[in-house]
Amino acid sequence: MIARATSDDEADPELLALLRKSLGLDGGPANPATAETKVLENAQYVFDNAIDVALSPAKVKEAAETVWRLMQKKQYSTETWAEHELHPKAKDGSTVDFIFTMDLLNFSFWSGETEESKRFCIEYRGRRWTGYWSLVAALQRALEEGIEITSPGFWIKEDECTDTLLRHVFRSATDEEIPMLEERIQCLREAGRVLCTDFDGSFVNCVYSANYSAAALVNLLVESFPCFRDETAFHGRRVRLYKRAQILVADLWACFNGESYGEFHDIDKITMFADYRIPQMLHELGCLLYSPSLESHIRDKKLIPSGSNWEIELRATSIWCVELLRREIKRQHPELKRQKLLERKSVQQSEDEVTPANDKGEPTTQQHAEQISTNGSSAFGVNAILIDFFLYDTIKDLERDGRETIPHHRTRSIWY
């Protein structure tokens, strides 16, 4: 129990106050230095006790350099997020509500259809979109059709926002319907009630409540919205994975480039987002190793139940693996330790300064890091969020080109 009841319908106020304070939700300023999600700690616990999923230390070291090199080559940064044609371009409260809606419904897009042409997809602006992008396309299409799909006040008006209308919003260009439509509708209704009752009808007020703390905002999400409470039990211990809550915070950070609604002083407390795509990519890199029985199960595309040991090990070990990749990149590139100082320099200042060169006429490694930091290609150094974004985009590219060597694991749930 969260708090001991002092009567049939009254919780102990002192215990509730202590709980809210520990989550950074006590009404006072959330302290980024003390708010914690416990996701990384829980992931390490699962990894330490996993039986069917392991890591290859040698491959992690090798992959770290490969990932970093490619991220730099592609100038991977927060700005990459807004470059996609479907992501919103406005930098205001309406985009905050769009991102909340998007990540509220950001789960379970994989299809059971073997033929690509029969998969669920959204037709929008002359193209067909699948997976995560089908959701973003559906929301953009609905807004263009005059449907207030990103308005919590609209979600709770069941006489206007009917199930039939929502089916129209997510209508497919094929015979296959969007997976878990009923669950998505339930998420909208539930979140609409919470936002309209407790946060004046907008997720913007949740962002304000977190006081620039990413961890506090994640904790507020999982406390206030049951459909974000991505928790389970492993060997008798509570495990927090919080995929959608964390990716929501990360999307705000990326969309607003670490400023305005996306300014979080503790953004590096966010881990990667434990889904079914990143484990697939980590296996492609040789970092993630499966037991023969688990690998056979995945290759045969058999369902893995949500909350099972296999599923928890896959997700948690992926979180820990990306953390090790992050640490290894920073170990291999000590110049990144200066990143926090470098990022304070303005772009104008970097343009005005003359960069000394080595004997080949090229910037030194340290100077290269400074240029990277100030030109936007790595304005925040390296963290689990950017590594996750890069790994996700890479596995999608491999899938598109038919070059993936193992399918992703298959689990149906609202958590990812």
Q: What is the pLDDT of residue 381?
A: 74
Q: What is the pLDDT of residue 4?
A: 36
Q: What's the average model confidence in pLDDT over 94-109?
A: 97
Q: What's the average model confidence in pLDDT over 6-25?
A: 49
Q: Mean pLDDT for the chain?
A: 86
Q: Does 392 map to a domain?
A: yes
Cα–Cα dist 358/280, whole Å: 41
Q: What is the pLDDT of residue 34?
A: 87
Q: What's the average model confidence in pLDDT over 164-178?
A: 97
Q: Does 193 map to a domain?
A: no
pLDDT, greater one: 364 or 309: 309
Query: Is residue 414 scored above 70 in pLDDT?
Result: yes
> pLDDT band at 359, cuts 50/70/90?
very low
> pLDDT band at 377, cuts 50/70/90?
very low
Q: What is the pLDDT of residue 15?
A: 55
Domain enclosing residue 326, as ranges:
31-83+231-342+382-415
Query: Is residue 347 scored above 80 in pLDDT?
Result: no
Query: Is residue 364 scored above 50 in pLDDT?
Result: no
> pLDDT band at 362, cuts 50/70/90?
very low
Cα distances from 315 to residues 203, 318, 367, in angstroms, run 27, 5, 37
Write down the catalytic residue from 26, 275, 352, 388: 275
Closest CA to 190 of 107, 134, 182: 182
Q: Does 36 map to a domain?
A: yes
pLDDT, greater one: 9 or 321: 321
Q: What is the pLDDT of residue 197?
A: 97
Give me the sign of the Cα torsion angle 379, 381, 382, 383.
Answer: negative
Kindly report the pTM of this predicted structure: 0.83
Q: Does 10 map to a domain?
A: no
- Per-residue pLDDT tens over the stretch 113-126: 888 899 999 999 99
Query: Is residue 174 scored above 60 in pLDDT?
Result: yes
Portion of the chain with pLDDT greater than 70, in percent: 81
Q: What is the pLDDT of residue 363?
A: 38
Query: Is residue 251 scored above 70 in pLDDT?
Result: yes
Query: Is residue 14 scored above 70 in pLDDT?
Result: no
Q: Does 130 map to a domain?
A: no
pLDDT, greater one: 24 or 163: 163
Query: Is residue 379 scored above 50 in pLDDT?
Result: no
> pLDDT band at 278, cuts 50/70/90?
very high
Query: Is residue 86 scored above 50 in pLDDT?
Result: yes
- Per-residue pLDDT tens over the stretch 175-186: 999 999 999 999
> pLDDT band at 25, cuts 50/70/90?
low
275 tagged catalytic? yes
Query: Is residue 127 scored above 60 in pLDDT?
Result: yes
Instruction: Report the range of poorest mean pLDDT among 140-149, 173-182, 333-342.
Output: 333-342
> pLDDT band at 77, cuts 50/70/90?
confident
Q: Does 267 map to a domain?
A: yes
Look at the chain and report how many structural domains it folds into: 1
Q: Does 132 map to a domain?
A: no
Q: What is the pLDDT of residue 338?
A: 57
Q: Does 410 map to a domain?
A: yes
> pLDDT band at 110, cuts 50/70/90?
very high
Query: Is residue 371 scored above 60 in pLDDT?
Result: no
